[in-house]
Amino acid sequence: MTEEQVAVVDGDGLLVAKLRIDDSAEGFGKLLGLLAESGDTPDEPIPVAIETSRGLLVAALRGSGRNVYAINPMAVARYRDRHSMARKKSDHVDAMTLANILRTDAHAHRTLPADSDLARAITVLARAAQDAIWRRTKATQELRALLREYYPGFLDAFAGAGHTNLAMPDARAILAIAPTPALGARLSKARIISALRKGGRQRRLEDTAIRILDALRRPQLRQPPLVEKALGRQASALLATLNIECVNADDLNAAAAEAFRQHPDHRIITSFPGLGESTGARVLAEIGDDRGRFADARGLKAFAGSAPVTRASGRSTCVTHRHVKNNRLAAVGFVWAFAAIPRPGPIKDHYERRRAHGDRHAAALRNVFNRLLGQLYHCLQANQTYDESKAFPGSVHAAEPAAA
């Protein structure tokens, strides 16, 4: 159990009461009793500031109907410096600092959004799926780096479009039975076909097996036998990790998509080009379904990091992209924009105009994401689906259906 220090202050910032509790039912009961003694009422509940937005205690506080402020620990540290130059840190000092933040600057901070339970469940599943994908990518890169040291023929066997996707079932199935060049050279076509079929492949088994067999039997530089065998054991261990993360990513993505389909915003979000159920679930997971969370579209764009930042000092002015942002939303925004631009239409035209204007690929995608995100904000507020003719008025592509 984790413990939290509680401090209650009055209008002058003087300590009224303090208490140390844990995140149990008994600890929460003590907290409610302390707040009641300090003047807490159902009509005017005392607001609470805490340094996290997650956990059992936060869930219980949100369920009590009071305003809960999640204050960034870095912001708490800056406020702490206002009252002490010694830079000392203690739980009681932090609790007092949090209480005084609400007393003086509550207007400058946001309460936790009033998202529905379904939206919060989607957030859990979508973030878990995204974490699994990131771990899968890390495991893939580690395995590729290891194979490059002693087994380049295997990478050549599954090379496609200039890179090797070791997370694909074919590659994992063959590496499981041939983790070293010596074992790979002794594979038969029948055994390769059997492994491919076990991995899920149903078509072109013969051609794929022949291609893999030729690549594995091609002469290549080799490590000493004992070293090669040891590297093969290491590759098998990394492969086991990769297999687990591939299963986790697929299962969690399916669970997030299933929950997302039950949400009322599913119809609106998936109406946008480039947003499917997986990416749409991640977008909803980060923006939530509390319509009052962002005052306007600019606030949402700043939260996502897609809106540029203008820094001015004296005669110098610089426009750059945001570094402080919701990294998860920014990551899915890149995928969203990338998936939306291949199809001919106003979105692709907008991307090409940005490139012609001098933007690099990433900057042009961020600009596309910025525009689409503003349109999504409007559609969610108005409860309407994406309409290309309204999103890009005056566009040649948007006008074509009307002319027809």
pLDDT class of 137 with cuts at 50, 70, 90: very high
Higher pLDDT, 226 or 87: 226
Percent of the chain residues past pLDDT 70, beyond the cut: 95
Chain-centre distance of CA 190, in angstroms?
42
CB 89 within 8 A of CB 80: yes
Average pLDDT of the chain is 89
Max mean pLDDT among 129-138, 198-207, 304-313 falls in 129-138
For the stretch 24-65, pLDDT in tens is: 889 889 888 888 888 888 888 889 999 888 888 888 888 888
Q: Tell whether the model's pLDDT for residue 4 goes beyond 50.
A: yes
Q: How confident is the model at residue 108 (pLDDT cuts 50, 70, 90)?
A: confident
> Three-state SS for 167?
coil
Question: Which of 211, 149, 204, 146 is closest to 174 using CA atoms?
Answer: 211
Asked if pLDDT for residue 401 goes beyond 50, the answer is no
DSSP bridge pairs for 9: 15
Paired tokens of 161: 């479009």
Q: Is the pLDDT of residue 402 over 60?
A: no
What integer is the mean pLDDT of 159-165? 63
Question: Which of 22 and 82 is assigned the larger pLDDT?
Answer: 22
pLDDT tens for each residue of 282-332: 999 999 999 999 989 999 999 999 988 888 888 888 878 888 889 999 999
Instruction: Report which of 287, 296, 361, 272 is spatially closest to residue 330, judged by C-alpha positions.
Output: 287
Among 72-81, 175-184, 229-238, 372-381, which stretch is predicted with the lowest mean pLDDT?
72-81
Q: Report the half-sphere exposure of 402 (CA within 13 A, side-chain side).
A: 11
Check: CB of residue 228 under 8 Å from CB of residue 234. Answer: no
> What is the per-residue pLDDT for 323?
82
For the record, the structure tokens of 187 come out as 């594979």
- Say whether pLDDT at 211 is over 70: yes
For a pLDDT cut of 90, what percent of the chain falls above it? 52
Q: Taking each helix axis from N to C terminus, what angle separates 225-261 and 169-177, rounded to the nearest 10 degrees?
A: 150
**Spatial CA neighbour of 56 closest among 16, 14, 21:** 21
For 219, list phi and psi in degrees, rounded to 5: -60, 140
Average pLDDT in the 261-287 region? 95
Q: Are 259 and 122 in contact (CB under 8 A)?
A: yes
Phi, psi of 126 (to 5 degrees): -65, -40
Asked whether the predicted pLDDT for residue 400 surpasses 70, the reply is no
How far is Cα 311 from Cα 246, in angstroms, rounded to an integer?
Answer: 43
Nearest C-alpha neighbor of 205 from the set 224, 192, 215: 192
The C-alpha atoms of residue 117 and residue 121 are separated, in whole angstroms, by: 6
pLDDT (0 to 100) of residue 403: 38
Beta bridge partners of residue 8, listed in sequence order:
17
Q: How many angstroms separate the Cα of 79 from the Cα of each of 16, 76, 93, 105, 242?
A: 20, 5, 11, 10, 44
Q: Which pair of tokens denotes residue 192?
A: 């390769």
pTM of the model: 0.85
Do residues 228 and 222 touch, judged by C-beta distance below 8 A?
yes
Residue 162 scores a pLDDT above 90: no
